[in-house]
Amino acid sequence: MGLIGLSGPITNLLIACFIALIIRFLPVLSPEWLYVGLIKGMQINVVLALFNLIPIPPLDGSRVLSAILPNNYATALESLEKYGMLIIIFLLLFPSPFFSLQALIAQASNFILTLLLPPSLAFI
C-alpha cells in the first residue's frame, strides 16, 4: 500500500523534471509566455506532489506512513480518514504562528524548483 501511495507524488515530480528538461533545451529566442507556462506547470506539479505527501488521510502521505508504522499506530492513523479533509482545510485556512502548512509547502516547492530550474529562470 505504501508504494501505491508513493506513485502519485513520484509521477508529479517526474512530470516536473520532464518539464525542466524541456525548459533547458528550449531555444534562446523562445517566447516568454512559453517559459512562464512551463514554469507554472512545474510549480503546479511540485506543489501537488508535496501536498499529496502530507500524512493526513485520505492523502497519499498517510498511506506511506501507515506502511511504515506499527499496526496499532497505522490503525489509529487510518481512523482519522473521515475527519482528514476537515483537518487539511483547517490547517490551510487557519495557519498558526508556529506552523503554517502553506508556508511549509511554499518553502519546499521553492527549494525543489531552484534545483530543477537553470539560475537564469529561477525567479520568473
Domain regions of the chain by residue span: 2-121
The model's pLDDT over 100-120, given as tens digits with 9 standing for 90+, comes to: 888 888 888 888 888 888 776
> Given the C-alpha cell 487539511, which residue does it identify?
88
Residues sharing a CB contact under 8 Å with residue 57, sequence separation 6 or more, in sequence order: 77, 78, 80, 81, 84
- pTM of the predicted model as reported, rounded to 2 decimal places: 0.83
The model's pLDDT over 52-89, given as tens digits with 9 standing for 90+, comes to: 999 999 999 999 998 899 999 989 888 888 999 999 89
Mean of the per-residue pLDDT values of the chain: 87
The model's pLDDT over 2-28, given as tens digits with 9 standing for 90+, comes to: 788 899 999 999 999 999 899 888 887
Cα(58)–Cα(54) distance, integer angstroms: 9
* The predicted structure's pLDDT at residue 25: 86
Cα(93)–Cα(90) distance, integer angstroms: 5
